[in-house]
Amino acid sequence: MITTGRAASAARDNNERINDEVRRYEGLIILNTAGQADGALKAIESAKKSIIKLGGKIEAEQKLDRRAFARVTDKKVSAGFYVNLIFSLPPAALAELKVDLKHREDVFRMLITLATAAKEPAPAQ
């Protein structure tokens, strides 16, 4: 059955609204853990709790270790602990998450992008 006109527009709007309820994001967070022995683990757990509190779900976590910056912008911070999080979150809550992370002292930089769709492995032949 092919729909045209208003019915097609209403169906398209409904599908867009359903797809906008939750989106997958990939967040690269650089933590400033200078002078803290277990500061990275606490900061990671705190960031994950913020995502969950806003209605999100953590799908994957990758701790990339502490790395020195190639270009030092602040002499006080010459290295950071890199963490990659893949999570689902309603789009309306993304701005609030960014503000929350931006105002934390243990977060040096962050980059949140839409995650690509997870590819299913090809069946073995």
Tens digit of each residue's pLDDT (9 = 90 or more) over 4-43: 556 555 544 544 454 558 999 999 999 987 767 678 889 9
Burial profile 20-46: b = 16 or more Cβ within 10 angstroms, e = fewer: eebeebbbebbbbbeeeeeebeebbee
For 96-105, write each residue's pLDDT tens digit. Answer: 999 999 999 8
- pLDDT tens track for 74-95: 788 888 899 999 999 999 999 9
What is the pLDDT at residue 12? 47
**Arch. (CATH architecture) of 22-70+77-114:** 2-Layer Sandwich (3.30)
Secondary structure letter of residue 15 according to DSSP: H
d(CA 87, CA 51): 8
> pTM of this prediction?
0.72
Model pLDDT, residue 73? 80
Mean pLDDT to the nearest integer, 56-82: 88
What pLDDT is stored for residue 112 in this prediction? Answer: 95
Look at residue 24 in the predicted model and tell me its pLDDT: 95
- In the chain, domain spans: 22-70+77-114
The confidence score (pLDDT) of residue 114 equals: 94
Amino acid 20: pLDDT: 59
Residue 65 has pLDDT above 90, yes or no: no
